[in-house]
A and B are shown apart, each in its own frame.
Chain A
Amino acid sequence: MAPERLLVVNNVVKIFGGFRALDGISLDVSAGEIVGLVGPNGSGKTTCMNIISGLYRPDGGDILFKGKSVRGKSMHVLSKSGINRTFQTPKPFKGLTVRQNVEVVHRRADRKASVDDPLEFVGLSHLSDREAAALTSGQQKLLDLARALTAGPDLLLVDELAAGLSPVELDTIAERLIEISRRGVALLIVEHLLGFVNQLTQRVIVMNAGKEIFEGDLASAAQNQRVVEVYLGQ
């Protein structure tokens, strides 16, 4: 039996002014699956994440989550429904400590688990009393991940988490993401570091100019003429 499709993005279009940032993109992610969304700069990866998470409203197409359309729903509603995300450039809540940053989500999610669990999971528990704005950019990304996990996601959208992390941190975070998917959470990962994506998954969707140009395993993508042209400009 085929795995249940948690997220289905169907022919989604997003236009900024006259620019078609997304030009009929379609993709799907199943529960517990890790899918990589890759492509050159400006290909529409982050716009796609912003549409799925509710930050932008699509101009066309539909998005189904758990079988129901969530098109145009606002981000806080989707967050409560189980779609949570990290940001390419995380901006922790200024004036709040690391722990309070997580507590904001924890209070709203009304979870029985401890606030310390997600901090422990991402390796930030020793910094819980530090002001979040004082963290390094890598640590701020981990805090962003901890906050997203606190909300109890069924689908976690991870936007360029690896950028700015050290090789040791990268290995640790890859292990953590795999652990998250083993708990049944689906992950859609936008990433430029293909080696990092390779550690996590074999199924990637390659985008260019707002469209999907390839779907399959990373090794096949590297052999695909169209993908090579897009990346190397040949």
Chain B
Amino acid sequence: MGLGLSFIFGVMKIVNLAHGDFIMLGAFGAYLGESIWRINPFVTLIIEFIVFLLIGLPLYYGLIPRLLKSRDPEMLSLILFFGLSQIIEAIGTMAFGNNPETIDPSVIGGQPLVIAGQDFPFVWIAGVVVSLVCMVGIYLYLYHTRLGIATRAIMGNREEAQSSGINVHRVSALAFGIGLGLAAIAGVLTPFMLGAIYPTMGVDLTITAFAIIVIGSLGNPLGTILGGIIYGLSMMLMETYLPSWSSMIPYVLLILILLVRPSGLLGRRTRNA
């Protein structure tokens, strides 16, 4: 869930506050795909990744270059994407209504897995496998492709990358598209992991994704994995022992990490002279 948000921040240093809303759109895409065309969610996953990637390209060129020219792109990105989040939420509400929707979990197929005497639903295992595939995919892209190395150069320094002959907008647009594609993949799995889906769920999802990437370190894919594990374990423990308080988890973790280690668990400590 956090990988796309982290990837976009790492490359462009902007916070996509509409990330959760793209996950919501991905979730409704899976809902429509299953309820109207009876498409298997794993097929939807691939289709949505491509569609969202392609949507990301014009969206990048329409919004980001102008934003990056401003004096404070990070701050303005919060305002811009908050606005985009509201627009997507409003369109989602008009299109799908306010009632929560669900997908029959059996459509994803598979049998529960027994590990150490515990039953694990198939969809959880599928979620872990899909996440791992996405992470390996991002790793291979960043470390073993020409575009990926250019992406890492932009992550290191945008101006120097440009002066090295890298078309930063073309590479960043692709990264933005990949970030949205990853949000869509998380969205397809959301109805199976969380149950009901509804158009206003984007804000909560953004906060959860944001907490995960801040815990690990903004822009660091490995940090996102670590943040996800810590968030997941904390959530499970709270739901077991203090279920009525469990929704506070992302906020508590966010505040704790900002107080104790603002750069995230895998982030480098910085010092201001």
Q: Majority SS of interface residues in chain B? A: helix
Q: A92-B156, A94-B155 are in contact. Are A108 and B162 (CB under 8 A)?
A: no
Stretch at the interface among B164-172, B182-190, B252-260: B164-172
Contact present for A87 and B150 (CB under 8 Å): no
Q: Within the complex, what minimum Cβ distance (angstroms) separates A156 from chain B?
A: 11
Q: Report A-chain residues with C-beta under 8 Å of the C-beta of B270.
A: none
Q: A104-B149, A108-B164, A108-B165 are in contact. Are A95 and B155 (CB under 8 A)?
A: yes
Contact present for A107 and B149 (CB under 8 Å): yes
Contact present for A91 and B160 (CB under 8 Å): yes
Contact present for A79 and B152 (CB under 8 Å): no
Partner of B165, one of A76, A87, A93: A76
Name which of B150, B153, B155, B166 has the most chain A CB atoms within 10 A of its CB: B153
Docked complex Cα distance between A148 and B168 (Å): 17
Interface size range of chain B in the complex: 10 to 19
Partner of A94, one of B146, B156, B168: B156
Contact present for A76 and B153 (CB under 8 Å): no
Q: Does B244 sit within 8 A of A, measured CB to CB? A: no
Q: Report A-chain residues with C-beta under 8 Å of the C-beta of B104.
A: none
Closest partner residue, chain B, to A100 (CB atom): B149
Q: Within the complex, what minimum Cβ distance (angstroms) separates A46 from chain B?
A: 13
Partner of A151, one of B159, B161, B165: B165
Q: Report A-chain residues with C-beta under 8 Å of the C-beta of B152.
A: 93, 95-96
Docked complex Cα distance between A109 and B150 (Å): 13
Contact present for B162 and A76 (CB under 8 Å): yes
Q: Report B-chain residues with C-beta under 8 Å of the C-beta of A123.
A: none
Q: Mark contacts of B137-166 with chain A using CB atoms, 8 A cut-off: 1 yes-contact digit, 0 otherwise.
A: 000000000100110110111011111111
Partner of A87, one of B153, B156, B159, B167: B159
Q: Report B-chain residues with C-beta under 8 Å of the C-beta of A79.
A: 162-165
Contact present for B157 and A105 (CB under 8 Å): no
Partner of B160, one of A74, A93, A100, A107: A93
The 6 A-B residue pairs with the shortest CB-CB distance in the complex, in nearest-first order? A93-B156, A79-B165, A75-B162, A91-B157, A94-B156, A105-B164
Would you mind naming 22 contact pairs between A and B with Cβ atoms under 8 Å apart? Answer: A53-B163, A74-B162, A75-B162, A76-B166, A79-B162, A79-B165, A87-B159, A92-B156, A93-B153, A93-B161, A94-B156, A95-B156, A96-B153, A100-B149, A104-B150, A104-B164, A107-B146, A107-B149, A109-B165, A147-B164, A151-B164, A151-B165
